[in-house]
Structure formats: C-alpha cells, structure tokens
Amino acid sequence: MEALVHNFFNLAIIAKVWPYLLQGLWVTIKLSLVVIPIGMLGGLVIAVLSSLRRRWLNVFLIAYVDFFRAFPPLVLLLFIYYGLPFLKIELPAITAVAIGFLLNNSSYYGEIFRAGIESVPRGQWEAARSTGVTWFQTMRLVVLPQAVRNVLPDLISNTMEVVKLTTLASVVAIPELLNAARNAQALTYNPTPIVLAALMYLALLWPIVRLISRLEHRTIAMR
C-alpha cells in the first residue's frame, strides 16, 4: 500500500510536476483543436465527392479510405517524420503530425459523413432540386444538416478517438500531456507523473464517454 502511494500518488512529486503537466495538457488541447477540424474537413470533402457518384472517383476514394483505415496512424506518422527528410523534405514535428492526422482521420470522418449522407432519403434531394435549388446548395442546406444529425454519436465518438490519438505526437517529441509526463517521470525517478497524466485524460474525456454512451444506447435501441 505504501509502495502504491509512494509511486503512484506521491504528493510531493505531484506538487512539483503539476505546472509542467498542466502545460502538457494545454498542448494536447491545442493540438486537438488543430487536428480535429482538419480531419473533419477532409472527411467532409471525401463524403461530398463520393456522393457525386462518379465511378472512377469512387474507386479512388474507397481505395484511399481503406488504405488509411488499414494503416496504423503511428506508422504513418513515423513514415512522414523520419522518411521524408531522406527526400530532402524536412518537416517540423507539428506539420508531420498535422499531415498524418489529416490522412488518417479524413478517412474515418469520410466514412461517417458518407453514411450520414446516405441516410437522408432520396426524396429530400428531389424535393429540393425541384424547387430550383442547385446541387451544391441542396447538399449544404438540406442534406448535410440532416446527415450530421443522423450520425452525431459516431462523429462525437470518433472525435474523442482523435483526442486520444494525439498521444502519438509524444513519439515525435511534441510536448503534449503524455510526453510531458514521461519526461517528468524520467526526471523524478517516480511514475506518479504518468498516473497523474492518466487522471488528467480521464477528467478531460470522461464526460464525453458518458455522453457517447447515452447517445449510442439510443441509436441501437431504435433499430
């Protein structure tokens, strides 16, 4: 018990590393605020393009989505960060992370938005188009708002996964929460900082987990 308190909940160490970890948490939040919109926007573009129903374009889009769903995001990130410099393309860590997250997340968000767009009945399209509204306006004003509402649980749940994935940035030395915690552990010879970081992730994401649970139960019960 004493070992547990000393190593996992060491107050002296918590007091010491607290400001440093708080900084890490702030970087995690900022990083999320960068990569979430990028991934969503990429996914939206993929979904809208695939609803154009051009055969070859769709073959390409499905290949893209499947490729990045099969590819572990960490592999992608290391490929970009350590591989590209060999082609004389030197990217700052944050850019490498942004590109990796764009490629990986746009395919997940793309699938979600596509499912949403497909869930809107054909008649909605026809009704809108027959009033003289253009294809693009129909998509933007009639279809997408309903599509988003229909797949809201999946959107929120995927967004939480993206926040959790920002821990990968620690591998390319971006000082987000997990990276800060591991540095603090190395400096203090005590694992309390990683436990503290885990508690911070919990504080950040638990409310979202609860929300998702509630929404998911509703969707599955509706089937």
Partner 1 sequence: MDLDRLVFSFFNARVAAEAWPDIVKGFFVTLEVGLAVIATGLALGMALAMLRSFQVKLVNFVIIVFADVMRALPALAVIVILFFAFPYLGLPMSAFTATWLALSLVLAAFAEELFWAGIIAIPRGQWEAARSTGMTAWQTLAAVIVPQAVRLVVPPLTNRTIAITKGTALGSVVALSEILGASSSAASNLGNPTPLTLGAIAYLVLFIPFVWFGRWVETRFAWKR
3 binds partner 1 (CB under 8 A): yes
Tokens, residue 18: 């607290």
On whether the CB atoms of residues 166 and 32 are closer than 8 A, the answer is yes
Minimum separation from the CB atom of position 176 to partner 1 (A): 10
66 binds partner 1 (CB under 8 A): yes
d(CA 138, CA 144) in angstroms, rounded, equals: 8
41 binds partner 1 (CB under 8 A): no
String marking each residue 70-109 x if it binds partner 1 according to CB under 8 A: xxxxxx--xx--xx--xxx---------------------
d(CA 25, CA 207) in angstroms, rounded, equals: 16
On whether the CB atoms of residues 97 and 77 are closer than 8 A, the answer is yes
17 binds partner 1 (CB under 8 A): no
Among 20, 150, 152, 188, binds partner 1 (CB under 8 A): 150
197 binds partner 1 (CB under 8 A): yes
On whether the CB atoms of residues 159 and 36 are closer than 8 A, the answer is yes
Minimum separation from the CB atom of position 99 to partner 1 (A): 15
122 binds partner 1 (CB under 8 A): no
Closest CA to 31 of 113, 106, 100: 100
220 binds partner 1 (CB under 8 A): yes
Query: With the C-alpha atoms ordered 63, 39, 178, 170, is the resulting torsion angle positive or negative?
Result: positive
Residues of the chain by 3-state class (helix, strand, coil), percent to 5: 85, 0, 15
List contacts with partner 1 (CB under 8 A): 3-4, 7-8, 66-67, 69-75, 78-79, 82-83, 86-88, 119, 150, 160-161, 164-168, 170-171, 178, 182, 185, 190-191, 194-195, 197-198, 201-202, 204-206, 208-210, 212-213, 216-217, 220-223
